Amino acid sequence: MQAYAQTERVIGHIIEDKARRDPYHEVFRFGDRTISFEQLNALSNRAANGFRALGIGSGDKVAVMLTNRVEFLIAWFGLNRIGAACVPINVALKGEGLAYQIDRADCVALVAEPAFSVPIEAVADRLPKLRHTIVVEGRAPSCLTGWPGREPLHFDELMAHAETAPGVSVDFRQLSTISYTSGTTGRSKGVLISHHYWYEIWSRAVQYARYTDHDVLYTGLPFFHTSAHGTTGPAILAGAQAVFVERFSASRMLDDCRRWNCTSAKFIGGMLSILMKQPPSPDDADNPLRLMVGAAAPPHLWHAFEQRFNTRLLELYGMTECSSCLVNPYDDRRAGSCGKAITGYDVKVVDDLDNDVARGQTGELVVRPQHPYLGTSGYYKDADATLELFRNLWIHTGDLAREDEDGYFHYVDRKKQALRRRGENISSFEVEAVISAHPSVLESCVVGVPSELGEDDVKAVIVLRRGEKLTEVELIRWCEPRLAYFAIPRYVAFRDGLPKTPSERVEKYRLRAEGVTADCWDRERAGVVVSR
């Protein structure tokens, strides 16, 4: 990997340097279309000059509401060339959430696909700061009369400018991106990501995953999600290739990886469980993947997954605010752990008063960068939330964890989602792992609901795999040998789906707030006793 001095850690500079050193290397692939460093540099310059022609400049923010397509990267890198910032918008957003993110970030322009015209037009009157809208493909801009700002401009018109560099000086500390949080526990916050912070995220990924110019990195994670760019940037820095597909598909992923000879793939959440629940195939292990990198790998599936698919899992932990602050060492991985502090952060576990807890005890995970400009500088236009994030000079993750004697950290639960039943602490994460391991279960969510005896009772909401059947009693008997008696759900509800944020995170607060609903089966009322 070509290393860059601190002042050179500017996205536009890095792309320009790569184009000069290795112009014909195909760094990105979108299906049958490939983009070389030379093309990426030229396209970014054209976009930069197009934005400048619209009067957009240093310090401005532009919302980008696009699926996984090359125009997203061209717009992002073009904006960064002129010192402007990209604000990725989740393509599933509608109504108040959509208007809030665009307006809160002070966006002066919006780049979007015509497919999103209905939700955009519905909130146009709530976006007074937008001066320009730019449409990518589809209908002619003149047909989009309800879009905010002036008459929409077609992306081709934005790109009808010179390929020469715009000649704007950009500092490594300048804002590159405002990335909104998922909003699982409250209103989304705009995380500030500088050019330098992106460089740190990317360069550390190259190191811990040992990416080289021989690697082909695969992702179906959405571009509005920062995890997707754990593929984009490392491919640039390592001189590798990144293969992007529109979305993750369990039935298609391995065939995609074989087709393009992908050596590494990204995963999050329940993707591993979904892959394991695909019908076994004789060629499951016949794939080029040497590595899968991501978070929340179910411990009970770890070794079985590696054996079935003939690959290596590399688990990490992080948030947009402190990306990949924990990573399992490549040659010393530990199943069930989210890793060690090996990527430039100090990490520890503290109690509610921010005092250190002993190893093996559960507390909140807090993080501190060891180097300047590593991590976020805070939340956009939210001083109170920023102060709370950096309380006592440590980033407070809001996650519960414990550290073992060897320095490996183990995720327990979100702090606001932890349960306590009759004096016993319960990890909803661990209960979900047991329930979701049942062959008939597609996914599950566990929350606490008020108990008549005080504290919480355990409620499980479960989505079954298509065509599968499972009774409440059968579920309890599955849990009995796998969970402490006090963690076995009292209430069980089978549903067709779970409420989720646009980035596919389960909205636990909604299930918790609804309490015990009419569709909840009550183990105690049914007289089903669990053994101790």
Write the DSSP assignment of 199-239 as a string of letters: HHHHHHHHHHHT--TT-EEEE-S-TTSGGGHHHHHHHHHHT
pLDDT digits over 67-124, tens only? 999 999 999 999 999 999 999 998 888 888 889 999 999 999 999 999 999 899 989 9
Q: Mean pLDDT for the chain?
A: 92
State both tokens at 456.
């919480």
Place of tokens 């809030």: 100
Residue 138 — pLDDT band, cuts 50, 70, 90? low
323 within 8 A of 226, measured Cβ to Cβ:
yes
Provide mean pLDDT across the span 244-261.
95
Provide mean pLDDT across the span 417-432.
76
Beta strands in 362-496 (DSSP E): 363-369, 395-403, 409-414, 419-421, 424-426, 441-450, 456-464, 491-494
Q: Which domain holds residue 333?
A: 315-416
Q: Does residue 506 lie in a domain region?
A: yes
My answer on whether 389 and 428 are in the same domain is no
**Range with the lowest mean pLDDT among 59-68, 127-136, 376-385, 421-430?**
421-430
H/E run at residue 132: strand 132-135
3-state secondary structure of 386: helix
- Cα maximum dimension of the chain: 75
pLDDT confidence of residue 188: 82
My answer on whether 139 and 41 are in the same domain is yes
My answer on whether 41 and 185 are in the same domain is yes
DSSP state of 278: S
Q: Identify the CATH number of the domain in which residue 446 sits.
A: 3.30.300.30
Provide mean pLDDT across the span 130-154.
79
3-state secondary structure of 194: strand
Provide mean pLDDT across the span 409-433.
79
My answer on whether 385 and 434 are in the same domain is no
Global confidence as pTM: 0.85
Q: Does residue 203 lie in a domain region?
A: no
108 within 8 A of 61, measured Cβ to Cβ:
yes
Q: Does residue 71 lie in a domain region?
A: yes
Domain end residue (candidates: 194, 224, 259): 194
pLDDT digits over 282-327, tens only? 999 999 999 999 998 888 889 999 999 999 999 999 999 999 999 9
The answer on pLDDT for 143 being more than 90 is: no
My answer on whether 370 and 443 are in the same domain is no
61 within 8 A of 100, measured Cβ to Cβ:
no
My answer on whether 474 and 372 are in the same domain is no
The answer on pLDDT for 493 being more than 60 is: yes
